[in-house]
Amino acid sequence: MAFISDALSRIKPSPTIGISNVAREMKAAGKDVIALSAGEPDFDTPQHIKDAAIAAIQRGETKYTAVDGIPELKAAICRKFERDNGLKYKPSQVSVGTGGKQVLFNALVATINPGDEVIIPAPYWVSYPDIVSFAGGTPVPLPTKAEHGFKVQAADLEKLITPKTKWFIFNSPSNPSGAAYSHDELKKVTDVLKKHPHVWVLTDDMYEKLVYDGFVFTTPAQVEPKLYDRTLTLNGVSKAYCMTGWRIGYAAGPEVLIKAMGALQSQSTTNPSAISQWAAVAALDGPHDFIEKHNVSFKSRRDLIVSMLNQTKGIQCPTPEGAFYVYPSCAGVIGLTAPSGKKDRERRGLREGVARDRRCCSCAWRGVRLLAGIPYFLCDIGKGTRRRRPPHPALLR
Ligand SMILES: Cc1ncc(COP(=O)(O)O)c(C=O)c1O
């Protein structure tokens, strides 16, 4: 009898967390490291949020709480959805968890049965397919193209929907591409989803506040109210409020789903940290002016790095509309000769060359450590690249 469960064998440790741990260990060993791997702002949590947490500790808010969130936080979340997204929810439609990742995990594990398919536009955040697989479902990548700004095309989505499709996971602005859908672009996607009432929509709006150049954020249930009854709108305080370590994420959707997620959480973490929940109330209720200031920095860093990458031979980098990632294509360096004199003749590119034995990347010899694009599902970066999985059969129809 195997000791490790079959469910666990379907997932891999998060590669992004893995490379962040390497950086942390190197720093602890006294090395001078610039770590860009973790998706977290370098700004500190704003003082008024810290003060709310300290006040909560002083008041003795240090006990177990309601499983899926204190009433005060649920009320603040309802206010946030109405204020920012024009979406009305009751507190009973809201679930708070230990980070957006737990909320996502709860939603998928609480609803997926063996054989259920989950469509995930690619490139995607590394955790989506693994959580789907862990839950016993089948992740169905929907590759997008650079020429479309890495955004889903309605016809491609239509082709992938089958009677087994349970969820469509949507993420705008996207980790890792930074692609963000305008109202009209999103409407084309929701028009397809509207026609398939058995498909639920899980929209991960984690990067809602991190948008640039006047971009106006919208979310599926706002753009298409007919999807409200089968949409889970997920968000959190990690990114916009610089609170990655506080571990608070939340979602709102139909009560039947929220109840199921709560049941699962009651048998895992019980409730998110009481102190962090009080801090999240302060975060969501404001002030919010620091977000705009942070975005000025994120934008200037984005512009600098995009322009530097585009000055590099063989690298092409589109300008992301949101989040704090860039998604450059390295297709042009595959097959080139590295300063060490070694050539990546086998065209395995950065995966073999850098991640495994650090041979081919032109900068690996200078002490740069890279995570290859494979776990994000490589898309349309030119010849010589491979997809992690073959395209879903429906794509070939
Ligand atoms: C797209 C996306 N969703 C959700 C999360 C999870 O955020 P957290 O669990 O810190 O709230 C992340 C974190 O990197 C992310 O990139």
One domain for residues 117 and 235: yes
Out of 285, 300, 318, pick the residue that ends a domain: 285
The confidence band for 336, taking pLDDT boundaries of 50, 70 and 90, is confident
Q: Which atom of ligand 1 is closest in space to residue 248's alpha carbon?
A: 11
Which of 17, 101, 177 has most ligand 1 atoms within 8 Å of CB, for mutation? Answer: 101
One domain for residues 130 and 28: no
One domain for residues 276 and 300: no
Nearest CA to ligand 1 atom 16: 175
Angle in degrees, CA 286, 290, 293, rounded to 5: 155
Q: Total domain count for the chain?
A: 2
pLDDT, tens digit, 9 for 90 and up, residues 254-299: 999 999 999 999 999 999 999 999 999 999 999 999 999 999 999 9
One domain for residues 243 and 384: no
Burial call 97-114: b when 16+ CB within 10 Å, e when fewer: bbbbbbbbbbbbbbbbee
The answer to which of 3-12, 112-121, 131-140 has the lowest mean pLDDT is 3-12
Q: What is the pLDDT of residue 335?
A: 76
**C-beta of residue 52 within 8 angstroms of C-beta of residue 282:** yes
pLDDT, tens digit, 9 for 90 and up, residues 26-57: 889 998 888 887 789 999 999 999 999 999 99
Out of 265, 285, 305, pick the residue that ends a domain: 285
**Residue 1 located in a structural domain:** no
Tokens of 179: 């692609």
Q: What is the pLDDT of residue 136?
A: 96
CATH of the domain at 297: 3.90.1150
Out of 246, 261, 285, pick the residue that ends a domain: 285
Q: Which atom of ligand 1 is closest in space to residue 236's alpha carbon?
A: 11
Q: Give residue 184's domain range.
A: 64-285
Which of 77, 127, 150, 244 has most ligand 1 atoms within 8 Å of CB, for mutation? Answer: 127
